[in-house]
Amino acid sequence: MNNEEIKLLLVKYITREADENEIDQVKQWVSAHPENEQYFAQLYETWQNLLYLKPEVIDEEKAFDKFSAANIPAPRPTRYRQLYKWSKVAAAVVLFGVLAVILSRHYSRNIESIREVAVNKGGIKKVVLTDGTLVWLNAGSKLKYNTDFGKKNRTVNLEGEAFFEIAPGKKTIPFIVNTKNYTIRDIGTKFNLKAYPTDSFFETTVVKGEVSVEGNVDNNAREMSRIYVKPRQVLRIYYPEPKEKYTYKPDDTRDLKNLNEIQVLQIDSARMNQYDGWKQDLLVFDGNTLNDISKVLERRYNVKIVMNDASLQNIRYSGSFKNISNIDKVLSLIKSNTDIDYAIAGNTVTITKNNN
């Protein structure tokens, strides 16, 4: 590939328009040399920053003139020394130039064609996409897709949790779900996907069919090969935790075995409602920590839960709740089986230790 082909290929990848073959080409090019990885990282960061700009503030012609005048090719291993001859100013002009001309046009062209479905905390919403796919969105979730969805692509972006029942489609147009860190390709029909930004893990559960999961090429995704998840399997990937945020102590009760780990679990049909029962207003906990349970309850009942003792977060609880509209009843049942107490003031729930 020549320099222009490399640039256009990277742009297609960053804007999520690359097909599977082009994605593989990008990954090979990025991993071929540290210089390529650095160049890609700069492009990606500039694109993310550009998303926050309004298209009208970008002078495309001026940016294009600067880019043409600079005429500096994309870095390659054979020109490693030449890269360091660039000044920081020239590099910035080139990066902004190529992205301002190509990416801003992409952004301004598509910004009006993006549809977003958002669900507030405390709610659940069912959406029917134009190809017939059914999507249930859990509380505090967002789903984005283009208005031409189903014609040239079947790609959606998810933040939060959703259950997908995929409609049959052409094999040439796969159903793809992009999350912040992982990309899910549907090979079957029914699966649950959980990717809340506040959770410490990514999770997908396949009810019927099969999905493949792969990490996005950025600093947030875990390095891994593509993983295929089959019927009645759960894939859970724990996000690496920055070392500066946590220091292990010998007497720590924290559940360390689950950190920085990929788990694939086989489950029976009777336990499936633990992962997709929320569609029927069912909450199922099977040895979950109070920390994980509190996040679920915060989204379901639109409250803020505060614990005055860090050790409370590691208390585990098992139980199920069906159509309970009041968090007070849920907490009362948890209290009867654990050493906790709680108080509710408005939308704030304070959980304390029960020392009696």
Q: Concatenated DSSP letters for 122-138?
A: T--EEEE-TTS-EEEE-
Residues 78, 161, single domain; the answer is no
> Looking at the domain assignment, is residue 276 inside a domain?
no
Residue-wise pLDDT for 128-137, tens only, equals 999 999 999 9
Say how far apart CA 157 and CA 159 lie, in whole Å: 7
Structural domains in the chain (count): 3
Can you tell me whether residue 202 is helix, strand or coil? strand
The mean predicted confidence, pLDDT, of the chain is: 78
Q: Mean pLDDT: which of 62-76, 168-182, 231-245, 307-321 is highest?
A: 307-321
Residues 261, 139, single domain; the answer is yes
Residues 201, 249, single domain; the answer is yes
> Looking at the domain assignment, is residue 219 inside a domain?
yes
- Phi first, then psi: give them for residue 140, nearest 5 degrees: 70, 25
Say how far apart CA 187 and CA 174 lie, in whole Å: 8
Choose between 111 and 264: higher pLDDT.
264
Residues 301, 327, single domain; the answer is yes
Residues 88, 132, single domain; the answer is no
Which amino acid, residue 6? I
pLDDT number for residue 210? 93
Residue-wise pLDDT for 262-299, tens only, equals 889 999 888 898 999 999 999 999 999 999 999 999 99
For residue 286, what is the domain's CATH number? 3.55.50.30
> Looking at the domain assignment, is residue 338 inside a domain?
yes
Residues 25, 76, single domain; the answer is yes
pLDDT at residue 110 above 70?
no
Choose between 20 and 344: higher pLDDT.
344
pLDDT number for residue 341? 94
pLDDT number for residue 126? 95
**Mean pLDDT, to the nearest integer, of 102-107?**
54
**Mean pLDDT, to the nearest integer, of 194-222?**
82
Q: Where is the domain boundary, 83, 112, 141? A: 112
Choose between 99 and 175: higher pLDDT.
175
Residues 176, 206, single domain; the answer is yes
**Mean pLDDT, to the nearest integer, of 206-221?**
76
pLDDT at residue 103 above 80?
no
Domain boundaries, position 346 = 281-353
Q: Where is the domain boundary, 271, 290, 316? A: 271
- Per the DSSP assignment, residues forming a β-bridge with 350 are 306, 343
What is the reported pTM? 0.66
Residues 130, 99, single domain; the answer is no
Residues 186, 243, single domain; the answer is yes
Residues 138, 105, single domain; the answer is no
- Phi first, then psi: give them for residue 92, nearest 5 degrees: -65, -40
> Looking at the domain assignment, is residue 143 inside a domain?
yes
Choose between 78 and 345: higher pLDDT.
345
Instruction: Name the nearest CA neighbour of 276 among 178, 184, 193.
Output: 193
Choose between 70 and 128: higher pLDDT.
128
CB 160 within 8 A of CB 192: no
Residues 139, 198, single domain; the answer is yes
For residue 123, what is the domain's CATH number? 2.60.120.1440
Q: Where is the domain boundary, 216, 249, 271? A: 271
Residues 186, 162, single domain; the answer is yes
